[in-house]
Amino acid sequence: MTTAIKFGTSGWRAVIAEEFTLANVRRAVTGIARYVVSQKPRGARVIVGRDPRFLGETLVAMAAEILAAHGITPLVIAEPAPTPAIAYEVIRSQADGAINFTASHNPPEYNGIKFSTPDGASALPEVTNQIEAEIARLDGQPLAVQGVQPVNVDARAAYLARLRELVDLEAIRKAGVRVCFDPLWGAARGYPDALLREAGVQVRTVHDCRDVLFGGHAPEPDDHLLSELRHKMAETNSHIGIATDGDADRFGILDQDGSFLQPNYLIALLFDYLVETRGWKNGVAKSVATTNLITALARHHGVELHETPVGFKYIGELIKQDKIAIGGEESAGLSIRHHVPEKDGIIAGLLAAEMVARRHKPLREQLQILFGKVGSFYPLRENFRLTPEVKEQFTSKLKAEPREFFGRKVAGVVRTDGLKLLFEGGSWVCYRLSGTEPVVRVYTEARSRDDLAKLSGQAKEWIFH
């Protein structure tokens, strides 16, 4: 039986040697090639890149051969490259898209393919649907390819030059901010740390080597995986710790005391900071599952708010249209005005360092000042596994629109993505079923820690009863 290749919110991902096989990669790349040719029959050029995962070099070479066999010039990035650097190279070189072999923050047994369109953004559903249709038409057909010489391109230099334009590196140097960086063995190795060192900033890096097993765990810049970064910060008396995931589209930030700053909070802080320092008030975007601290700040600054479905591609569209100064998701993805319409964990970390340098305050202190402006917000995300029976019952329950929720009056119902219930007083809960596993993602937010604990318990109880 042929594996159905489905592109989710950020490409197609699967376990290596199970569904992510060389045969299926050939099918997926051939489907992409056929789609590109349908859009531009002659003279198309497509970038091919990767993160440091197992067999990356082989996959890039294979993709280049398949593209060339379809009359498409493959522009190959030889070394592992961050997703945002690949996105910027698509825009800079006016390529007709990019194939990026990465499973991002997924565990090392996974690999995947992200396809970017000519604007540098992740392909929208209308594009991936066409690619999936092309793949389906291939089944049973031979996939003949021929050897070709790829054209090598360097994505690093131009991307770093762009970061120099967007980030005030001199402010970081002048303030004497000491930075620790953890690429988690991923594609960002030699990117933000090299840029900071060049600017005269003191930087220490951990996990600065290739490891296709990522230390034996997912290359995810989350609190519980940043202990070595935390240790290096304490050892060097650093002011901030910056981490990126496997393909550097997500960020993780440690404050001066080693405490982890929720991505929700960094997005809100940077929004406030960009309004303050750049004067950008054209808009702000957040996914439906991201903190309403951003909503309150938008009101405070008189800035238009855009609330999108989950999936950065929707925020990317707003960046392309210059409708927002910054857009972000609670899952640690953000980008800013005049930059790529793709998540960029590198610029997130650099801007956080700049913000610490220019405000001369640790991030937690800055957050308390922010709370003083617009009030306190305490967000939480939890995942719950469902049995088939519970999932069926809960799926039906999601179609309802309750007027009350454990004594809380429902002030509004939002169906941008999943089911989001808004309560009087500013708290809310959002339920989203995973499309790939029997899991429901539950997002809650309250205006106090005590109420968050209560709301989290109620949100879980509503699933199983």
| C-alpha to C-alpha distance for 374 and 298, rounded to whole angstroms | 10
Give the model's confidence band at 47: pLDDT under 50 very low, under 70 low, under 90 confident, else very high. Answer: very high
Mean pLDDT, rounded, for 144-173: 89
Quote the pLDDT of residue 424. 92
3-state secondary structure of 437: coil
Q: Distance of CA 151 to CAs 22, 45, 76, 77, 120, Å? A: 22, 10, 6, 9, 19
Check residues 434 and 292 and name the one with the higher pLDDT: 292
314 φ, ψ to 5°?
Answer: -75, -35
Mean pLDDT, rounded, for 358-379: 98
Quote the pLDDT of residue 148. 60
What is the average pLDDT score of the chain?
95
Q: Which of 180-184, 304-308, 312-316 has the lowest mean pLDDT?
A: 312-316
336 and 387, same domain (yes or no): no
Mean pLDDT, rounded, for 223-247: 98
Q: In this model, does residue 165 exceed pLDDT 70? A: yes
Domain assignment present for 162:
no
Check residues 1 and 277 and name the one with the higher pLDDT: 277
State which H helix or E strand residue 347 sits in.
Answer: helix 345-359
252 and 318, same domain (yes or no): yes
278 and 392, same domain (yes or no): no
Mean pLDDT, rounded, for 299-321: 95
The angle, 0 to 180 degrees and rounded to 10, between the axes of the packed helices 449-464 and 388-397 is: 110
| 8 Å CB contact between 294 and 283 | no
Quote the pLDDT of residue 4. 86
294 and 411, same domain (yes or no): no
Quote the pLDDT of residue 415. 94
3-state secondary structure of 391: helix
Quote the pLDDT of residue 150. 84
| C-alpha to C-alpha distance for 289 and 286, rounded to whole angstroms | 8
Q: Which residues contact 374 (CB under 8 A, 6 or more apart)?
A: 293, 296, 297, 299, 300
Domain assignment present for 348:
yes
> How many domains in the chain?
3
Q: In this model, does residue 55 exceed pLDDT 60? A: yes
Question: Sign of dihedral through CA atoms 414, 415, 418, 419?
Answer: positive
Find the radius of gyration of the CA atoms of the chain.
22
Quote the pLDDT of residue 401. 87
Q: Which of 143-157, 158-172, 257-271, 364-378 has the lowest mean pLDDT?
A: 143-157
Give the model's confidence band at 258: pLDDT under 50 very low, under 70 low, under 90 confident, else very high. Answer: very high
263 and 293, same domain (yes or no): yes
Give the model's confidence band at 187: pLDDT under 50 very low, under 70 low, under 90 confident, else very high. Answer: very high
In the numeric block, which tokens belong to residue 207? 């996990």
Give the model's confidence band at 436: pLDDT under 50 very low, under 70 low, under 90 confident, else very high. Answer: low
Quote the pLDDT of residue 149. 74
Domain assignment present for 90:
yes
| C-alpha to C-alpha distance for 229 and 241, rounded to whole angstroms | 7
385 and 358, same domain (yes or no): no
Domain assignment present for 127:
yes
Quote the pLDDT of residue 140. 60
370 and 393, same domain (yes or no): no
Q: In this model, does residue 142 exceed pLDDT 60? A: no
Domain assignment present for 169:
no
| C-alpha to C-alpha distance for 408 and 425, rounded to whole angstroms | 10
Using the 3D structure, point to which of 325, 341, 374 is the last residue of a domain.
Answer: 374
The DSSP result for 205-273, as a single string, is: ESS-S--TTGGGS-----GGG-HHHHHHHHHHT-SEEEEE-TTSSSEEEE-TTSPEEPHHHHHHHHHHH
Give the CATH number for residue 429: 3.30.310.50
Q: In this model, does residue 437 exceed pLDDT 80? A: no
Quote the pLDDT of residue 178. 98
Domain assignment present for 3:
no
362 and 452, same domain (yes or no): no
| 8 Å CB contact between 380 and 427 | no
The angle, 0 to 180 degrees and rounded to 10, between the axes of the packed helices 293-301 and 263-278 is: 10
Using the 3D structure, point to which of 120, 155, 190 is the last residue of a domain.
Answer: 155
Domain assignment present for 425:
yes
Give Cα 229 distance to the centre of its chain: 20
Quote the pLDDT of residue 465. 81
Q: Which domain, by its residues, includes 433?
A: 378-464
131 and 188, same domain (yes or no): no
Quote the pLDDT of residue 438. 87
369 and 382, same domain (yes or no): no
pLDDT digits (tens, 9 = 90+) for 389-402: 999 999 999 998 89
Mean pLDDT, rounded, for 226-237: 98
In the numeric block, which tokens belong to residue 139? 């089944």
143 and 271, same domain (yes or no): no
Between CA 267 and CA 275, with CA 269 as vertex, the angle to 5 degrees is 100
Quote the pLDDT of residue 144. 53
Quote the pLDDT of residue 447. 97
269 and 202, same domain (yes or no): yes
Q: In this model, does residue 433 exceed pLDDT 80? A: yes
Domain assignment present for 167:
no
| C-alpha to C-alpha distance for 233 and 240, rounded to whole angstroms | 8
Give the model's confidence band at 360: pLDDT under 50 very low, under 70 low, under 90 confident, else very high. Answer: very high
Give the CATH number for residue 129: 3.40.120.10
Give Dmax over CA atoms of the chain in angstroms: 67
Using the 3D structure, point to which of 320, 339, 374 is the last residue of a domain.
Answer: 374
Quote the pLDDT of residue 204. 98
